[in-house]
Structure 1
């Protein structure tokens, strides 16, 4: 598949993810024509139901069907809570469909890192990210050991700006004994603005899900270019 301006749809559950993902695609995959679809009740309804229900899964599949029937050549689902629906979508549609952070996880696992940190500012994000990362290890990184350091800084969620958020994340990482990690993975799109400042504080690469997804889709949809593995 090689078109000059491939149509990439993104389905969001929160407005902030729309902005962050759009900025990542502008930076990493400017050739793409980006189509943003927002359902800002997805997370609230999932929380109220105590998790994903069959009705919520069908609702997400209807959103995916809408963009696919309208010509989307790829899809990024930016809400990790609905990531399992991607597995169904891949059976139903023959175009690239990505979960929010899987490109970041795969690229990090393919890199020579031996110790990585997964950082977040909300408690549910850490176990969800680690579960996805560990599930990919057997297929992507068989026989290569990986040490994962998990870090939670709720102060980062309340920080006044991205630089302050980065300082809170760096402090939490050092307190957790993770000062010697080879790379840091941001477990939430909302932390992406703090990425550059955090990399400067720690002196290691900092990966974000939206940027990695944009690079992977660029490599898949623009055949004369190749996806890079550096963040």
Structure 2
């Protein structure tokens, strides 16, 4: 079983659909804690580190849970650091995406819908670049009004704003959508620049952890 820690209930059907398409038979257990993102946006991710650890403990407490996937990019760094205290592997959902972006090329355009996501995402790209021994030059941009649309349940409206921002990127080797909530923008883009999002590779990495032999 794989537990998932989300900061929006709107992520649940996204990951259920990815499981059905790519990982049939994998049991998912969802936990949703929107207050973690709300506080992290106001006070910074470090301010909620203890509460993130507690949420991960709760997510991992169910019998049969073999790994926890944190799907929120804003709290992903503090979640990953808490792995040693949780008792099961904790997968940072955006790390596989960051590794893939670094492999494409050095010029990375990062799009986000909330400002709080940018520092951990940029730090993650730097970390993956160091691991790969590759240069990275990331530029970040917050898409105005997109998060307001998402919070209101207007997923398509959010996606279209993100898609328009992606289509305006011309001087990058790859575009990174910093949050899982931005994934559906791919349906509306016309850009020729490769665009990466975190849910599919993040779930794949977590599924491998959940299915890995114990010991």
TM bucket by the smaller chain? 0.7 to 0.9
* Aligned residue number for residue 201 of structure 2: 212
Q: Is the 8 A contact 2:177 2:198 kept in 1?
A: yes
Per-residue CA deviation, residues 32-89 of structure 1 (Å, 9 max, x unaligned), is: 11100122322334456x23567x4333323322332323111111223333432443
Q: Within the alignment, does 1:80 sit opposite 2:70 as a pair?
A: no
Assess if the C-alpha contact under 8 Å between 2:183 and 2:197 holds in 1: yes
Corresponding residue SS for 1:118:
strand
Query: Which of the residues 164, 167, 175 maps onto 1:184?
Result: 175
Please state whether the residue corresponding to 1:20 is helix, strand or coil: helix
Counterpart selection for 2:115 from 116, 123, 141: 123
Counterpart position of 1:12: 6
TM superposition shift of 1:105: 0.8
Q: Report if aligned partners of 2:40, 2:75 keep a CA contact under 8 Å in 1.
A: no
- The offset of 1:157, in angstroms, is 4.0
Do 1:20 and 1:189's aligned partners in 2 also have CA atoms closer than 8 Å?
Answer: no
Equivalences for 1:146-161 in 2 at 5 Å? 146-157=136-147
**Aligned mates of 1:38, 1:83 — CA distance in 2:** 14
CA distance in 2, matches of 1:41, 1:83: 15
Match of 1:64 in 2: 56
Matched, 1:195 2:189: no
1:92 aligns with 2:85: yes
The two structures, once aligned, show a CA RMSD in angstroms of: 2.9
Structure-2-length-normalised TM-score: 0.78
Structure 1 or 2, whichever has the larger Rg, is 1
CA distance in 2, matches of 1:87, 1:217: 12
Q: 1:102: which partner in 2?
A: 95
Structure 1 residue runs without a partner (length 5+): 1-6, 224-231
Aligned to 1:4: none
Q: How far apart are residue 188 of structure 1 and its match?
A: 1.4
Q: How many pairs were matched up?
A: 207
